[in-house]
Structure 1
């Protein structure tokens, strides 16, 4: 469905009756034989078939196939999949019997030149993959002997790793303990390790490099595979050692059947999810893209009672990082999700005649109206500052949409803000969407009218946090980070030294520290609270111990700088560009230091690090005018407002703008505050169990008009 220039195929495509599909009956053949087959019509529950999951690849690289006596052009990647799968043994048949293989592949089984047919078949895609006997996922050809060795190493390693994942993860941590080997050169650093450590390091490095290459395969980075794998009764990933162009190799190479390497998708998904929950620091250190597979798993997770654990909008958020040729397919490629249906109807009908901005706005508006809440808005993750002015629809501007609508086509690098305690009541029947969502040229973009309270105004904002900043390492590594000594720098911002901000001098350092520690991992979860999909979250008691140990590790690194720097010819003066004046711990009152030492006894900072890595990624920490600590969107700026809004599960960051024609903004019932939506946010000190009314905190009531 994502061919950028679909060909209008010949008349061999007889019109399809409603609810019917075409199936390709693929003839057997040797690798160099042409692809030959025929298309037959059938109902979804008709004769058994297998569905092919693949990526289109470069649309300019095409190969011919013969279908019903007519020559058709398909991408080289689909040609490779058909070449490989016609050799795959059929279940229930003798290997000596070469049978016709019944396959469904979108590029051939849908007339790509007929927009009406493409749209109608798109609505059936979920049922097509769910109804297939199995899904054959084609990863592509293995390039050369080295390529095959990487694939085999990765597949075998994933199998062995999942036999005892905890033990395997412990072995892999040698790559973290000696990460400077790969940074500063193996010749000098590796020699300093014991022979056993050298052997283990080299073995782990080789295996994890193969895993890295495995998850770099293009297949894992396309949005359409999400429902193709997720809906499958059985999904198997295949690759084969063969040149992309068989003619280059010669016939002598193909006297035997292709050897296919394969691994079952559920095992790959479990492997990736385990790493994300238990080894986030390893994933980020090695630059693994395994977390993309985790996103696919999260889309299809189920509760204990068998119902979907992931709602449709969150599924959209998880898939944002995956590629599509047409931005509208970010919605349409998930139409097979069980929660893509509300009140017996699809949440939105596929429509390729309007812009992505219109599609996304209609989707968000439908959920807001039906659910009477603002959960859709909490998934906004602006890549750049949103427009701070009211605009009209423009059919030539594909990305034009209101600031309160998630742009699912922008780069997503954050997890959904999943705080365990609600900031406001779950629903509000007074939420209004004012204006046109149809995208008619020249009509104003719709505004979102909501009510709530102003919590505070943001006064200072940190640099954007990166996952590579979080591990506590050594001086050389710290210097190379985007934000060296990031925790100490954040503390300088949220708790400025006495005299730098007189209005904040009376704050309780331990209370501020706890607020910061709870913001970074999205709070804690007690035993009776639901597990978060973003990774492990500790109980409050566990969290306090682990965070204290983490703070002390940064302190030890900071005050070990003098001796380490002297060994490299550096000194503290030359470290001034990245070395904080004082560590977080060193700046605390003596009684708070004693409390942290007590909490940290016998603990390590590893659990806190694993818990906060994904939540804090690409977000910022801020301080408000009254000294509150929060974490929010990367586009947050001083002057933005932190607000509690009825119907929103989390606090919001809003940016005041010039009035849009409804009177001057002032927070009264007659004049709502006109603003742009910046993103969801959390301020732990203002999020308390059963406290969903801002009046409990003395916050100012207000109405908001969000453009």
Structure 2
């Protein structure tokens, strides 16, 4: 009930009777408080929190700056009413009752103020008027800071407050009602802003607007009146309080006269904490644990707190007075450490981490207010060291919206911190596969209900790799024992430090991954499922079960032992109970910039509900992964494997291959030695690229031995220029050239003749002279005779055995390197036959940059066996974490 007059009453004449009950002398009615309380308790609540939705039906969109991806067609939240339905909808034809107190919804540049009427006695009914103003055109006013539920925790609306000429009635909580009586003037009017009254609590749109305006409302008020409850704040019945600075209650300079003790409640317990003379005890009261009071006290220019008959006041210099007069005082040793920033404005707490740490213990009836209650003092989160700026926070889309469920708010907040701000450490606090969250919460998002999570949301590991290595060497290597001191069923025998190496990954990603596929490139949140998609680098598979073998700090050490290597993983969680050893558990690297940075490892489990390799559930973020490799692996000492090395991509290999194909055919790379044998067999051919047909046949024979001899001969003849008229006859190959082709003749008759070795012999004949086939080393005189320019042109036939060509190629290291490279590309890409050939002969494309080959000593100083053990490949690709 709001208006209690007769419906025909147009000109009310309300008077307060001797029993303090308002009555209208125009219509004869009076408010029925008991009836109003009954209807309030049996009716629907003014505001309820929207229910969480199952994954797949989330329809996420807040905050707007987060890159959301609509995996299915969803309604645009801006195009329709997204406000939830509160309570029962009732009859569709039922019209809502007229709101006689709040005539309309406030605009973004408006707010309301309470004009509170004076009273003759403390027990007089509370009567006030509400007036709407522009933020830029309003009278001077004060704000009030209190808790709706008070110290007793009673948030039941049960006390009447009256409005306007009709004395329309609204029920408020007992503590709100007590606060209004406390600030009510003894004559005239007092203008104050009270959140429970100045904001229509049943209007979500207005609530969103006014929460966004709170920074300006509190900072523009003359002062904030801090109300701790009737057991602390003594009404003075027209007298004036003594006024002192806040530090004077802490150092005992002044002793307040205290109110009379409050009566006990029906259970026999005292309703309020009685400790007003001790500031530290005062800061432990329920009031200082409420999330909303923080911004109210930080944003106000001046705060006044009534304790007994003394008003203790603060301003921006309060912390200075404490440091001078109470040098031993420590705000951190109180329950309200944030009070050190009272009246210092939004910029006083410089980082979001500090803000969340200071407020981690604070309470809120509505869990969404743990965030919404801090928005007005939120630092500029794009720069952790920057001062707070509410406009920048608002511009990021972080604004209060009470149409959202708690689920939506916190998924959005964590997505913003990760994708917009790059706070990777929140992944160390991911909820994982908690059974109570499975159907409603993605595994990558932290548990927002946990106080420990709120305290440490941006904290990461404080250990160093050297500390971890020392723990493994000095303690774990001594053996794992059970609680009775006996060796456990899984034991790492002591090992001489010189007989094994510790291998660790660090450093930046490859140039390709860093520039074309950094972690944030196209990273997004699936609006329907809440899945997080980002670019990660696959480090290794976890092919077996893990055992817990030790602890260092808050981290537990887990190991998986193989014959020549042991994998050690650190985690805060019992990942030994999560990793099944069925080949579905993978370690990924979240790569960051910097040459000396250790990566963040993410332990993920391939989703059982998807055949897509890139879809995973989050198990744990792991700060360190180390491999102890036996000397049998070919490694000694402490090795840092850079992520850049691990990511030697197919693109790099193809580039190297293209370069090698353009090497001169007769020159071994780096040695610059002329091979007359090759020059003679491959006459007229200058580069390795010109013998590609032969290389293709040789690779085909590697894959499918023994191969087709005729295919080899055909490929050889295809490499030769037609001018040499090459053809096969029997077990021989024959080419022809003229004496006018001096460079060819010189190769065969002059340079080879200088070798003076049996391998320099070859069969030849001068066709026009009728010479028979000869197998000889040609003398200098014979060479001059054949190539004498005064003689008419003669044609020379050269003949050599087919196996000489094959033998020469197998001894030519460049060809062997090319064949090995083709094997590497085939293993990495899965391409064979024509598909492999097109990749080898064509220009490498961007898609090849993120296909990493299986490591080989040629490219990475690790034994291939180690890579095979753990399935290392270094591939960077988009991973979806559900």
Cα distance in 1 for residues equivalent to 2:507 and 2:328: 32
Q: Secondary structure at the match of 1:404?
A: coil
Deviations 1:128-161 (A, max 9, x none): 112222222222232699xxxxxx9x97676339
Aligned to 1:444: 529
Does residue 229 (structure 1) correspond to residue 297 (structure 2)? The answer is yes
CA contact (8 A) 2:276 2:282 kept: no
CA contact (8 A) 2:605 2:618 kept: yes
CA contact (8 A) 2:315 2:343 kept: no
- Higher deviation after alignment, 400-409 or 628-637: 628-637
Aligned to 1:364: 414
Cα distance in 1 for residues equivalent to 2:107 and 2:207: 13
1:39 aligns with one of 109, 119, 130: 130
Cα distance in 2 for residues equivalent to 1:110 and 1:620: 47
Does residue 53 (structure 1) correspond to residue 145 (structure 2)? The answer is yes
- TM-score w.r.t. structure 1 length? 0.50
Cα distance in 2 for residues equivalent to 1:278 and 1:331: 33
1:676-691 equivalences under 5 Å are 676=618, 678=620, 681=623
Cα distance in 2 for residues equivalent to 1:454 and 1:329: 40
Cα distance in 2 for residues equivalent to 1:60 and 1:231: 28
Deviations 1:571-628 (A, max 9, x none): xxxxxxxxxxxxxxxxxxxxxxxxxxxxxxxxxxxxxxxxxxxxxxxx5454666999
Distance 1:421 1:706, change over 3 A: same
Over the aligned positions, Cα root-mean-square deviation in angstroms equals 5.3
Shift of 1:448: 2.9
Aligned to 2:363: 323
CA contact (8 A) 1:347 1:366 kept: no
Deviations 1:136-194 (A, max 9, x none): 2222232699xxxxxx9x976763399xxxxxxxxxxxxxxxxxxxxxxxxxxxxxxxx
Aligned to 2:405: 355
1:63 aligns with one of 131, 150, 159: 159
Shift of 1:34: 2.5
Q: Secondary structure at the match of 1:142?
A: coil
Distance 1:220 1:456, change over 3 A: farther
Aligned to 1:19: 109
* Structure 2 gap ranges (5+): 1-40, 48-96, 235-242, 254-273, 381-389, 465-505, 580-585, 629-639, 647-861
Distance 1:19 1:282, change over 3 A: closer
Does residue 706 (structure 1) correspond to residue 881 (structure 2)? The answer is yes
CA contact (8 A) 1:273 1:297 kept: no
Shift of 1:107: 1.0
Shift of 1:105: 0.6
1:378 aligns with one of 407, 426, 432: 426
Q: Secondary structure at the match of 2:228?
A: strand
Q: Secondary structure at the match of 2:281?
A: helix
Cα distance in 2 for residues equivalent to 1:366 and 1:338: 14
Distance 1:446 1:222, change over 3 A: same
Shift of 1:411: 2.6
CA contact (8 A) 1:39 1:67 kept: yes
Aligned to 2:636: none
Does residue 289 (structure 1) correspond to residue 346 (structure 2)? The answer is no
Shift of 1:264: 2.9
Shift of 1:424: 7.3
Cα distance in 2 for residues equivalent to 1:214 and 1:434: 46
How many residues are matched?
440
Shift of 1:295: 9.8
Cα distance in 2 for residues equivalent to 1:260 and 1:629: 62
Q: Secondary structure at the match of 2:401?
A: coil
Aligned to 1:559: none
CA contact (8 A) 1:111 1:118 kept: yes
CA contact (8 A) 1:404 1:676 kept: yes
1:141-152 equivalences under 5 Å are 141-142=230-231
Shift of 1:451: 1.3
Cα distance in 2 for residues equivalent to 1:420 and 1:692: 21
Aligned to 1:248: none
Deviations 1:268-288 (A, max 9, x none): 8789999xx9999994xxxx5
CA contact (8 A) 2:298 2:341 kept: no
Aligned to 2:216: 127
Cα distance in 2 for residues equivalent to 1:157 and 1:660: 64
Does residue 645 (structure 1) correspond to residue 741 (structure 2)? The answer is no
Distance 1:113 1:238, change over 3 A: same
Cα distance in 2 for residues equivalent to 1:229 and 1:156: 16
Distance 1:291 1:64, change over 3 A: same
CA contact (8 A) 1:320 1:408 kept: no
Deviations 1:635-673 (A, max 9, x none): 665667886412599864644324356657xxxxxx448
Q: Secondary structure at the match of 2:229?
A: strand
Does residue 410 (structure 1) correspond to residue 450 (structure 2)? The answer is yes
Q: Greater RCO between the two (CA within 8 Å, min separation 6)?
A: 1
Shift of 1:109: 0.7
Aligned to 1:80: 178
Does residue 309 (structure 1) correspond to residue 350 (structure 2)? The answer is yes
- TM-score w.r.t. structure 2 length? 0.41
Deviations 1:374-414 (A, max 9, x none): x16627635x653489966xxxxxxx332222343333364
Shift of 1:454: 4.6
Deviations 1:452-503 (A, max 9, x none): 4659989666xxxxxxxxxxxxxxxxxxxxxxxxxxxxxx934xxxxxxxxx
CA contact (8 A) 1:21 1:42 kept: yes
Shift of 1:80: 1.8
Cα distance in 2 for residues equivalent to 1:323 and 1:645: 34
Distance 1:121 1:637, change over 3 A: farther
CA contact (8 A) 1:25 1:39 kept: yes
Deviations 1:241-282 (A, max 9, x none): xxxxxxxxxxxxxxxxxx2453538688789999xx999999
CA contact (8 A) 1:301 1:310 kept: no
Aligned to 2:372: 332
Shift of 1:324: 1.6
Distance 1:363 1:639, change over 3 A: closer
Q: Secondary structure at the match of 1:216?
A: coil
CA contact (8 A) 1:221 1:323 kept: yes
Shift of 1:323: 1.6
